[in-house]
Structure 1
Amino acid sequence: MTCLDNYLPTIIYQTSFTSIDLCSTLFSQPFSTLISCNNATMPFLQALSAIGEVFVSKLIDFFLDKLASSDLLQFATQKKVLEEIQNLEKELKQIRRVLDDAEERQMKEQPVKDWLIDLQNLAFDVEDVLDEFATEIGRRNLMMERRGSSSKRSRLNIPQSFNDVLFNRDIMFKIRDLTAKLKDLEPQRNKLELRMTDWERPTRLEERLQPTSLEIENHVYGRDKDKQIILDLLLKSDDERNFVIPILGMGGIGKTTLAQLLYNDASIQHHFHLKAWACVSDYFDVLRITKEILQAITSVSCNDNDLNIVQEKLQKELSGKKFLIVLDDVWNENYHDWTILQSPFKTRTQGSKVIVTTRNHGVSSTMGALHAHSLELLSDDDCLSVFAQHALGARDFEGHPSLKEVAEKIVRKCNGLPLAAKTLGGLLRTNVDLHAWEDVLESEIWKLSKDQSSVIPALQLSYHHLPLHLKRCFMYCAIIPKDYEFEKEEIILLWRAQGFLQEARDKQCIHDLGHKYFNDLVSRSLFQVAINNNSGFVMHDLINDLAQSVAGEVCFKIEGSQQISKHARHLSYIAERFDGIKKFEGIDEAQHLRTFLPLRFSSGFLCDNYLTNHVLTNLLPNLRCLRAISLEGYQITMLPDFVGDLKLLRYLNFSNNRVIKCLPESVSTLYNLETFLLKGCRNLEKLPSEMEKLVNLCYLDITGADKLESMASNFSMLTNLQKLSIFVLGKEKGHKIGELMNLSNLRGEL
């Protein structure tokens, strides 16, 4: 064991794993050429990217609002700073006048799209500088309010220190540099001959809240015959050659939906003693899958990380019982891996079954299945019922006969693929305007897609017709790994940190708006309820591919050997037990990252994680544009002071750290911090003493911080708090229950 000083608090060694080759035998239909493989440049993603879109207009509108704000203009009293702001505003207005035309033409003209991508990267830089400006204004306002200043103008107009003068100088040069870079795009803009339009500052629009259906698919059409065939194999066949029953089909054809229908059937409930569902995905981790099966059967968390112990426990639970296990989304054809996974099944009771859903013929033979049940495409009538269910909440058009003809034409373009019908139905959900339906039918996207399958244009249409605010929220979800179950609250807080919910009237409405946006994406079938967890959500693999294609270089997941782009803004990865230096090689190229997000599949929360010290001392301190950092689950004994230098930080998740006792005082300088998560920090004894400076803090979760001695003093000054999990009483002034009197925005449970 070497490099002991590279980890906090303890180092074992740096680990890595070799990716399993998943790209051998694919589903043998024409669509199979579009199926993705791990660590490969996928034709499916290429096809999506070819008709992807870039939208910058909403961002530019927001900048122009900020530049015209009275606070900023009062703050920028130095003549040179004001001149630079006016030059930037003038350049942005010129660009804004051609954006409507550019965003419309990008679908057909690649040079226009390339120009928009360059503009988008610069727009993100402008946003960083304007956020920095707004932070300084807010900091000075707060400082003068706490000093009892009587005049807002005086506290904005008079620099308070030499540092303030330096800030003005620094911001002036940054704005000048950005204006020059925007001007550099002008020759290409002129060459494209973009049409100029009159631009008016948009009024704030309140989107209607769409009705949602959070149930797992209640209505499944066209699968009665398939269901009965497999039910017969499950209930009537004790032939050991039918122990494994594969459901085979292309992406989006409904394999998981059918498996779920079987799993929840009443006859299955009575026939089998035990049931378990495990999502396998493209990384075949035998330990993780075995633990998921064990936990599903026992309803008890498994903290063991020794495969032999876990398999012995599972075998004991299964012994003498007839069981049904569903392995969803299997890619791996490695016979050795399957042999190890099925070890606990060898002493099974006759009649036990395993259902496997897969796109890959090779998986079926590897698992020794007698035959695989291949799903066919739906008939036009069944596809129309799927479409009607998601568009109108009914199986037919009896209530809206005028829409039936155009619906039939749309459905024919779906070519019998349920996901295409479901997604397009979700796009038109509760919209009974005939013209809107005709727009979808006649969209250029059907013509632009060279792919003969229905799924690419159908998915692209679902994105194309999203309102701009939902486009940005959906694109951000490209950082979510495939098959990762996420909570609604988790995503809303991250959206909030990125400023995607700024259309809300005030801070108290922001979270409600986040719920509205999330529910809208559910109603459009872009998110769906997780199978084993009604409070969790997942994205279909192809929807996940869509998000990645529209995000482009903006969102990056560390997986395989892919290199991060310097233009990346959001980073995620699956945390392992030991995350060493090698994992983060090249990440420092992305100097403008806004999200640093390690994620764990459900079983990953049951063990401690360790992070190389390099991330804490070299990588994160240099990422000054970060809005969201999660270090959840990492056992870090001391958080370095660099956190206080991340002035734009709005989200800090330090949950499930079981060793830390105190936090650096520099956390109190995070003026923008809105979400502070310390859940499960069971050894945490005290909070930063000057937390009253966190005037924008809305969410503080200290659930499970049982050793916390008291709250910070002057806690009553955190008047924007909406969620507070617990309040620890103390005897001293500022720590008593009276501190809650001024926290009038608190919601939920305390």
Structure 2
Amino acid sequence: MKLQSHFLDGAVGSKIIVSTRDAEVSKMMGAGTLVHNLEPMSNDVCFEVFEQHAFRNVNRDISPNFGLLKEKIVARCSGLPLAARTLGGLLLRKEMNEWEEILNKKLWSLSNERDILPVLRLSYHYLPSHLKRCFAYCSILPNDYEFCEQQLILLWMAEGALIEVIFQKSSNKIDLKYVMHDLVVGLAQWAAGDICFRLEDKQNSDHVQLGCFTKARHASYISGKYDVVKRFEAFSEVKQLRTFLPLSGDYPSNYLSRKVTFDLLPKLQYLRVLSLNGYLLTELPNSIGKLKYLRYLDLSYTRIACLPKSTTSLYNLQTLILEGCRYLEALPLNLRNLVNLRHLNNSDVDSLKAMPPQLGRLTNLQSLPNFVVGKGSDQSDIREIGSLFHLQRTLRLLRLENVIDAEDARRANLKFKERLDELVLEWSDNAQETQLGVLDKLETHRMLKILGIKGYAGLKFSQWIGDRLFSTMVRVSLNKCENCKILPPLGQLPSLKTLSIRGMTAVESVGPEFYGESSLPFPVLDELQLANMHN
């Protein structure tokens, strides 16, 4: 009804399409006769969908009994696209005798518990045991909830297992976000039983059915604007909770009672996953260090200025997410103790002044979006990057003016970090004596896709910038390199699609040096931005 009230403000002639499996919804919306009941797919179309997923467009030898198998397949799918896709995926790469065995399973004739399609239950039955565990974990996600691929992977990792499953791409086309089909959600809930618990599912007004919660290992809920301790009374009944996961709701700002963080959470001593994402917290209790089993800690978009010192005793921690913690000025000095840490997400943390000392001891790190170059014994200089060989995706090196010796830049070993797709190099002041030498030594591997340089104050760029051997580079950004008079030969880059040049005020003209030695410069360039080029 809340949704219906907004529809009343539409302009004359506006049309709204609502899809649902519940006839009551159409009555609530006042659709009347304007209802189109989707019929099941025809047998031929159903089999075409099945073939696309069972054969993946690869020709296979057809058994003489294939006609009979085809009839069974169509019958099992009941004209439902999801069933055809799922059955096709289940039979992919299996021999015809295995097809017959699966199609004749007794599971097809079991009662349709909780409206679960038999084909979905069968596909779950054939999963390996560790993948069944991961799939059941998905039941903590509400219907129609958009989730990030990477987030779910890290949660699975915290549980000790990973799985590659087929989800539907979100219809709003946000990259790497997915939703689960509601029928698949039902299957996950059936598989999880009482192990996974969504707080909203068990609430009746202000009362929670505590009996449904005592066996829970994983719990989630939609964050409210004001989450007071009473909402979490059920958590005192569970003894071995592993996951405490708030999910983003309708409010841009969320508040959590101090009693929850200081009194309740420390008692959940078996937690492996703890998220406080989006809550406007300013501090965490020092007792968080007692959560010895913790593997995943998400403090994104909180207002904490520092982490408790005890955080560095969480020796099993694999993932620490600090994205958007704009008040965070420093990380604990002994962060190097977290030797199992694989993901340290400090993106959009602009107030961070330096990295703690000896960060290079975290040799398992795979993601570290920002590295603030420091100097002095209580900070990490650029050499600490050298031993982090597993870094991937994006690396942004900030305050490169703190690199005094160009040889230290060479020890960062950027040439050997072949899993990096994007590299951003940033200087914060105009000291130019050593900057060319430093840039020379920061040459990266040849398969880099995105390069950004900001605040560089040298008089010219290093020779590796624009080298045609960077054959996969698709985007380059040069920003506020105010002393360079000549642009590098970026026209030689064979895959460059996007080029942004801003604030290079010393450039007076663009000549053939910009094209380099290529007979056909910028062969695939789609977008060129020139801004604040005053001369």
Using structure 2 for the length normalisation, give the TM-score.
Answer: 0.68
Q: 2:237 is matched with which residue?
A: 589
After superposition, the Cα gap between the structure-2 partners of 1:729 and 1:441, relative to the gap in structure 1 and judged at 3 Å, is: same
Say whether residues 1:447 and 2:109 are aligned partners: yes
Check whether the contact 1:463–1:471 (CA below 8 A) recurs between aligned residues: yes
- Residue pair 1:384, 1:408 contacting (<8 A) in 2 also: no
Name the amino acid aligned to 2:359: F
Deviation at 1:437, TM superposition (A): 0.8
Contact 1:685 1:708 in 2 (8 A): yes
Please give the secondary structure, in 1, of the residue aligned with 2:246. Answer: strand
How many corresponding residue pairs? 383
CA contact (8 A) 1:711 1:729 kept: yes
Cα distance in 2 between the residues matched to 1:398 and 1:645: 58
Q: Identify the residue that residue 715 of structure 1 maps to in structure 2.
A: 359
Aligned equivalents of 1:688 and 1:408: distance in 2? 64
CA root-mean-square deviation: 2.0
Question: Which string of whole-angstrom CA distances, capped at 9 and with x for unpartnered residues, describes residues 368-423 of structure 1?
Answer: 435211111222222222222222234xx974422453232132122222222222
Query: In the alignment, which residue of structure 1 is the partner of 2:6?
Result: 341
User: What is aligned with 1:741?
Assistant: 386
Q: How far apart, in 2, do the equivalents of 1:364 and 1:385 lie?
A: 31
What does 1:308-457 correspond to in 2, within 5 Å?
334=1, 337-345=2-10, 348=11, 350=13, 352-369=14-31, 370-394=33-57, 399-402=60-63, 403-429=66-92, 431-449=93-111, 456-457=117-118
Greater relative contact order, per chain length (Cα 8 Å cut-off, separation 6+): 1
Is the Cα contact below 8 Å between 2:328 and 2:349 reproduced in 1? yes
- Per the TM alignment, residue 614 of structure 1 is displaced from its structure 2 partner at its CA by 2.4
1:528 aligns with 2:168: yes
Alpha-carbon deviations, 1:526-550, whole Å to 9, x = none?
A: x211111242111111110100111
* Equivalent in 637, 640, 650 of residue 282 of structure 2: 637
Structure 2 distance, partners of 1:485, 1:674, is 24
- Is the Cα contact below 8 Å between 2:213 and 2:234 reproduced in 1? no
Matches within 5 A, 1:566-585: 566-585=214-233
Q: Give the residue type in structure 1 aligned to 2:352.
A: L
1:646 alignment counterpart: 291
Please name the residue that 1:625 is paired with: 270
Tell me which residue corresponds to 1:474: 135
* SS of structure 1 residue aligned to 2:393: coil
Q: 1:622 to 1:373 in 2, by over 3 A?
A: same
The answer to whether the 8 A contact 2:72-2:103 is kept is: yes
SS at match of 2:85: helix
- Per-residue CA deviations over 1:145-179 (Å, capped at 9, x if unaligned) read xxxxxxxxxxxxxxxxxxxxxxxxxxxxxxxxxxx
SS at match of 1:458: helix
Q: Is the CA contact (8 Å cut-off) linking 2:316 and 2:338 kept in structure 1?
A: yes
Distance 2:114 2:216 in 1: 32
Q: Which residue of 2 aligns with 1:43?
A: none
> Aligned residue for 1:246?
none
- Indicate the residue corresponding to 1:499 in structure 2: 160
Q: Distance in 1 between matches of 2:138 and 2:21?
A: 24
In structure 2, how many angstroms separate the alpha carbons of the residues matched to 1:441 and 1:375?
A: 26
Structure 2: unaligned runs, 5 residues or longer:
396-535
**Residue 681 (structure 1) aligned with residue 325 (structure 2):** yes
Cα 1:404–1:570, aligned 2, differ >3 Å: closer, same or farther? farther
Alignment match, 1:119: none
- Taking the aligned partners of 1:746 and 1:452, their CA distance within structure 2 comes to 44
How far has the Cα of 1:588 moved from its partner? 1.5
1:722 partner SS? coil
Q: Contact 2:114–2:186 (CA<8 Å) still a contact in 1?
A: no
1:606-632 per-residue CA deviation (whole Å, 9 max, x = no partner) reads x11111222212221111111110000
Query: Out of 287, 310, 317, which is 1:666 matched to?
Result: 310
1:490 aligns with 2:151: yes
How much has 1:456 moved relative to structure 2? 2.7
**Who is 2:341 aligned against?**
697
Paired residue secondary structure (1:410): helix
Distance 1:529 1:541 in 2: 14
> Is the alpha carbon distance of 1:711 and 1:666 closer, same or farther for their aligned partners in structure 2, counting shifts above 3 Å?
same
Q: Which residue of 1 aligns with 2:435?
A: none
Match of 2:470 in 1: none
Question: Secondary structure at 2:98's aligned position in 1?
Answer: helix
Question: In structure 2, which of residues 161, 164, 178 is the aligned counterpart of residue 537 of structure 1?
Answer: 178
Deviations 1:671-719 (A, max 9, x none): 1111000000001011111111111111101111111111111111111
Identity percentage of aligned residues: 46
Q: Which has the higher helix share?
A: 1
More strand by share: 2
SS of alignment partner, residue 473 of structure 1: helix
In the alignment, the residues of structure 1 paired with residue 188 and residue 199 of structure 2 have an alpha-carbon distance, to the nearest angstrom, of 16
Task: Read off the aligned partner of 1:596 and give its amino acid letter.
Answer: F
Do 1:661 and 1:685's aligned partners in 2 also have CA atoms closer than 8 Å?
Answer: yes
- Take 1:422 and 1:461, find their aligned partners in 2: how far apart are those partners? 13
The separation in 2 between residues aligned to 1:744 and 1:451, in whole angstroms, is 49
Which amino acid is the alignment partner of residue 442 of structure 1?
N
Counterpart of 1:557 in structure 2 is: 198
The structure-2 alpha-carbon separation of the partners of 1:740 and 1:338, relative to structure 1 and needing over 3 Å to count, comes to: closer
In 2, the alpha carbon distance for the partners of 1:742 and 1:669 equals 22
Q: Does 1:546 align with 2:194?
A: no
Give the TM-score normalised by structure 1. 0.49
Q: Which amino acid aligns with 1:385?
A: E
Residue correspondence of structure 1 range 250-269 to structure 2 within 5 A? none
C-alpha displacement at 1:740, in angstroms?
Answer: 1.0
Provide closer, same or farther for how the CA distance between residues 696 and 451 of structure 1 changes in structure 2, counting only shifts above 3 A.
closer
Contact 1:338/1:367, CA 8 A, preserved across alignment = no
Pair 339,492 (structure 1): closer, same or farther in 2 beyond 3 Å: closer
**SS across alignment from 2:137:** helix
Distance 2:179 2:358 in 1: 41
1:595 Cα deviation (Å)? 0.6
Q: Which of 248, 257, 263 is the equivalent residue of 1:612?
A: 257
CA–CA separation in structure 2 for the residues paired with 1:546 and 1:688 = 43
C-alpha distance 414-718 of structure 1, shift in aligned 2 (>3 A): same
State the distance in 2 between where 1:483 and 1:452 align.
18
Mapped contact 2:306–2:329 kept (Cα < 8 A): yes
Corresponding position: 1:732 with 2:373: no
Deviation at 1:338, TM superposition (A): 4.8
Mapping of residues 54-93 of structure 1, within 5 Å: none
Distance in 1, Cα, partners of 2:230 & 2:54: 48
1:581, CA displacement in angstroms? 2.0
Q: What SS does the corresponding residue of 1:588 show, helix, strand or coil?
A: helix
Q: Secondary structure at the match of 2:344?
A: strand
Q: Is the 8 A contact 1:449 1:456 kept in 2?
A: no
Structure 1 Cα separation of the partners of residues 199 and 244 of structure 2: 11
Indicate conservation of the 8 Å contact 1:407/1:437, yes or no. Answer: no
Report the residue type matching 2:365 in the other structure. L
Matched residue type, 1:461? L
Cα 1:391–1:638 shift into 2, 3 Å: same
Q: For residues 450 and 362 of structure 1, what CA distance do their matches in structure 2 show? A: 21
1:592 deviates by: 0.3
Cα distance in 2 for partners of 1:537, 1:339 equals: 26
Cα distance 1:373–1:693, how it changes in 2: closer, same or farther (>3 A)?
A: same
CA gap 1:339/1:479 in 2 versus in 1, 3 angstroms: closer
Residue 452 of structure 1: CA displacement?
12
CA distance in 1, matches of 2:133, 2:114: 28
